[in-house]
Amino acid sequence: MAIYGIALGVISSTACRNATRSVPFTVFDQMSPAEITEELKRRFRRARRVVVLTGAGISAESGVPTFRGGGGSAVWRGFPFEQISSAEMLARDPALVWEWFNYRRQVISQARPNAAHRALAEWEKRFQSLVVITQNIDDLHRAAGSRTVLELHGNIWRVRCLSCGRVTENRQVPLREIPPTCTCGGMLRPDVVLFGEALPGEVLHRAQAEAARCELFFIVGTSAIVYPAAYLPVIAKHGGAYVVEVNPETTPVSSLVDVTLSGKAGEVLPALSEA
């Protein structure tokens, strides 16, 4: 893993440089969706194994708030996002955490998959293997029809019992009971990765394995600078994949990728389908 660590250091230092620069980005092979190169088209047509890493940006196009950006973290009832979504807060005040998740579930329940989600679901038929690795917890990829989805941060529609450990689906909106309880009487928690918690090891290992053996790796709607998701494009690149970024603006990861397609995922991905 040493090589990945070094490469991640490169990404992190790029992020720091970009953050302090007055001109916020450097352009690397930047182009509009209308300018999808012949090389990318050729690779897209020939690829058998494709991996797509998605983040908040793709869901934002469906109206799911990113709870980020705008120069600072979001605040809900006076609590910063990082605090109210933390393992520490769950231990201290589970009802408060559940009220926050109850609110988020209501917002997400209104969101529908967009053209980008639909394009990725379509790609499953096109390629021998198409794996979506997502940082999103909103389930919009599955709602669009994707079947192979690796959720790095869990799923807001799943709950896990703190007593018996059972994981079940729960789509009740709004929740009738806060905090909700399991049939065993134990308290349930959202089956999502909270701040201060590790990512699910099995999901992460599978994501790394898929990244290592794919021919095309897409980064969509995320700057992918947060460990351990940041490793994935590095692993893909190291394994010989052609790495494509789809983001409205150039991000710290742009320096690592082979090509950046600037634009909204909902426009760029369907355009690629036509390529």
- Which residues contact Zn ion (rule: CB under 5 A)? 161, 163-164, 182, 184, 186
Q: Indicate the residue among 65 and 186 with the shorter CB distance to Zn ion.
A: 186
C-beta of 183: minimal distance to Zn ion in Å?
6
Active site residues: 153
Q: Tell me the two tokens of residue 81.
A: 């996002």
Distance CA 135, CA 238 (A): 22
C-beta of 77: minimal distance to Zn ion in Å?
28
Question: 50 φ, ψ to 5°?
Answer: -125, 135
Distance CA 44, CA 50 (A): 9
C-beta of 163: minimal distance to Zn ion in Å?
5
User: Is the four-CA dihedral 124, 135, 170, 75 of positive or negative sign?
Assistant: negative
Q: Indicate the residue among 95 and 226 with the shorter CB distance to Zn ion.
A: 95
C-beta of 21: minimal distance to Zn ion in Å?
51
* Residue bearing tokens 């950006």: 69
Q: Indicate the residue among 182 and 275 with the shorter CB distance to Zn ion.
A: 182
Q: Indicate the residue among 189 and 264 with the shorter CB distance to Zn ion.
A: 189
- 106: number of CA atoms within 13 Å, CB side? 8
* Residue bearing tokens 């953050």: 19
Angle (CA) 248-59-157 rounded to 5° is 160
